Chain A
Amino acid sequence: MSQQVGRVAMPAQDPEIRNKNFSEVALGYSEEMALIEASRCLICKNPQCVKGCPVEVNIPGFIQKLRDKDMDGAVKELKNKNNLPAVCGRVCPQETQCEAKCIKGIKGEPVAIGRLERYVADWDLARGMEMPTKAEPKHKKVAVVGAGPAGLTAAGDLAKMGYDVTIFESLHTPGGVLMYGIPEFRLPKAIVQKEIDYIRALGVDIQTNVVAGKTVLIDELLNEEGYECVFIGTGAGLPHFMDIPGENLNGVYSANEFLTRSNLMKAYRFPESLTPIHAGKRVAVIGGGNVAMDAARTALRLGAEESWIIYRRSEEEMPARIEEVEHAKEEGVHFQLLTSPIELKGDENMNLVSMICQRYELGEPDASGRRKPIPIEGDVFEMNVDTVVMAIGNGANPLVTSTTPGLMITKRGNIQADEETGETSRKGVYAGGDIVTGAATVILAMGAGKSAARAIDEYLSK
């Protein structure tokens, strides 16, 4: 069985079928596939992959258990460090983390750690999840603000340590970007829901419909509601627009709005679900990240005849995962690279009809290390589109920071927090995830939640 040379391919829905439905694209390994792939692992004594994992999963440990067909043991090994493994197995950029460090990757393909993680996590979900034994209750209350990846991780870890944890979530459903942002076809909401159920089963109380900074202030949690510590994981929740003419025309969405309507509000089932969405016939998504790919692929599934990615650099500089770009291409998303809109045009009813675009060429590398796009003078063209989705990133939402005196923020409005511990300028207040780093990945937010939980435990154990 160890004769497999390359990694076992992930079975997936046919592109021509899947681009018309919202069911999951990647179908997951069978037991046989998982065992073959697991057999490729060298079970290194000094595993490099673990160093690439922000939540420090004992990767060879769980793979060894999987190989021994000790599934229960594999689950325990995985969940010892990772509270949301079925999510991570699907959306982590393993190719730049654990798998990037895999020894097998030097001469061939690295072990498909993410796919194995998903296999083990899904096995656990299918059997109905077993609960870890909880630590002795500490009778100390900790508040977590935001039920996204950072908050859920911090809350889960703190609950396992014996703290009384309450999460305050502004939306009506916990999950954060896992629920409102990442589409069903990449991360089924039933999976996210089960992982949230697991966090609840650990004893975490999740209060939805509470907007920190509006419904309740951080200082009220500390001074009036009896919380000894607060972890802020509110995410990056303020969409950037380009500040070009015509941006307020009907048909222009932020990616947050487009995806929230579709994912959280289930607009793809309109009118059975009563929140509407217009994908239009010709859709242009501005941006080259994972969110842009999600929006472009969602547009196709909502019935768009053409879906375009408009990106001002070349494919090489695209921040999206290679897998997401490949999936988008397979499904028929078109790519208009080295291009960016400079004006949006509408009809008399202010409905978007076209987009004036500027072509770019690449110059010297800029501060990000990527080659800088330079406009080619006079190279301008018009593209007919009835929907534009701005997927150019998010800034920091000021609702919490502007209502919490003494909480230091950066020039960009992000919370200043210690990289190792999440400590902020306010005693007893910790922060992590996108509200600290700016928009990043699910797993980095989870890593921040994990280290903050550890720091909070140290602080409260003094």
Chain B
Amino acid sequence: MFKILKKEEMGNNVYGFDVFAPRVAKKAEAGQFFIVRQGEDYERIPLTIADFDREKGTITMIFQVVGACTKALSLLNVGDELTDIVGPLGKPTEIENYGKIVVVGGGVGIAPIYPIARALRAAGNEVTAIIGARTKDLLFWEDKMAAVSDRLLIATDDGSAGRKGFVTQVLEDLIKEEEIRRVWAIGPMIMMRAVANMTRTYKVPTIVSMNPIMVDGTGMCGACRVSVDGKTKFACVDGPEFDGHAIDFDLAMKRAAVFKNDEKLAMDALENRLKGGSCTCHSK
């Protein structure tokens, strides 16, 4: 069992847990992910690693409530236990000294970009971090990001913090002025696509982290198929990081929506369960 040692509320339905998972913490590297299952009858949820502490044996997970299982997860508190955490899964970020690089974190994507920035900086890169959200209250970890980058730039859609506008615009200005060797972008698919489309015109290599629907996370089910340069890859074992210029984002977005219509049913069933109501499936 995996005990929750710390809980953070970031606002906008974003939550963070530090969880005791020593085997995962021991092996975790930036860019990898893990799968969490809260308990019997819950889904297996893949989450990119937001942080890890090998000495304490903990990993940090940051998640946004988007459906029934993340809703249920958000209701847990310090001391509660998760039935299952498995990982680290996927390939780590390819950390090298590239020179001047930029990491971009959008919304909840700020979390997974953090350990990547830290590892890149430790490898000698000059790291510029750009983080963005719709509004100031939705930003988090500004201090942590500042601590692992040489320069931190902020963008909000409404201008309530940092520059008004999208992270893409901040990044484009940098690329115009400076010799940026490589970009990592993590966030909503629409943001990663926008970043990749922009950097393509400037020929700046761009890595994105895909978080498609998954079941096992070890290559067994193939649910997480993504198309990269027209070739099918499994995000769980071939990724989750891919060349952002080669990913078919349109396909990825449509695949991500496949179970959208089931969400309401799942949410109703969850509410019923949380109310202590008995299920009705077998009484019909």
Residues on A close to B: CB < 8 A? 170-172, 180, 208-211, 214-216, 237-239, 241, 243, 247-248, 250-251, 253-254, 256-257, 260-261, 265-266, 269-276, 278, 349-351, 397-399
Contacts and interface: CB of A to CB of B under 8 A. Distances in A.
A170 B86 contact: yes
A237 B218 contact: yes
B274 interface: no
Nearest to A258: B221
A278 B42 contact: no
B222 A256 contact: yes
A229 B216 CA distance: 27
A243 B225 CA distance: 12
Given A209-B84, A215-B88, A271 B218 contact: no
B266 A271 contact: yes
B19 to A, nearest CB: 12
B265 A265 contact: no
Interface stretch (B180-188, B194-202, B254-262): B254-262
Contacts of A253: 222-223
29 contacts: A170-B218, A211-B89, A211-B218, A214-B27, A214-B88, A214-B89, A214-B218, A215-B23, A215-B24, A239-B222, A241-B232, A247-B225, A248-B225, A250-B258, A253-B222, A257-B222, A260-B220, A261-B215, A265-B215, A270-B266, A271-B266, A272-B281, A274-B42, A274-B269, A276-B259, A349-B254, A349-B257, A399-B219, A399-B237
B86 A211 contact: yes
Given A210-B23, A272-B41, A350-B251, A399 B218 contact: yes
Interface in B54-95: 68-69, 83-89
Contacts of B219: 237-238, 397-399
Contacts of B37: 172
B86 A257 contact: no
Contact of B83 (A172, A271, A398): A172
Contact of A239 (B221, B266, B268): B221
Interface residues of B, number: 43
Contacts of A247: 225, 232
Tell me whether chain A's interface is mostly helix, strand or loop, or mixed.
loop
The 9 A-B residue pairs whose C-beta atoms are closest, nearest first, are: A271-B269, A257-B221, A209-B86, A350-B254, A276-B262, A254-B222, A237-B220, A172-B84, A271-B265
A27 B255 CA distance: 40
Contacts of A210: 23, 86
B254 to A, nearest CB: 4
Contacts of A211: 86-87, 89, 218
A265 B39 CA distance: 11
A280 B241 CA distance: 32
Interface string B241-283: 0000000000100110111001001101110000000010100
A250 B23 contact: no
B228 to A, nearest CB: 11
Contacts of B43: 265, 274-275
A248 B227 contact: yes
Contacts of B254: 250, 349-350
B86 A215 contact: yes
A218 B217 CA distance: 19
Contact of A272 (B83, B85, B269): B269
B5 to A, nearest CB: 18
B193 interface: no
A276 B269 CA distance: 12
A389 to B, nearest CB: 11
A239 B220 contact: yes
A412 B215 CA distance: 25
Nearest to B264: A271
Contacts of B218: 170, 211, 214, 237, 397, 399
B255 A250 contact: yes
B222 A241 contact: yes
B28 to A, nearest CB: 10
A269 B23 CA distance: 32
Contact of A278 (B24, B258, B281): B258
A146 B266 CA distance: 32
B221 A270 contact: no
B121 interface: no
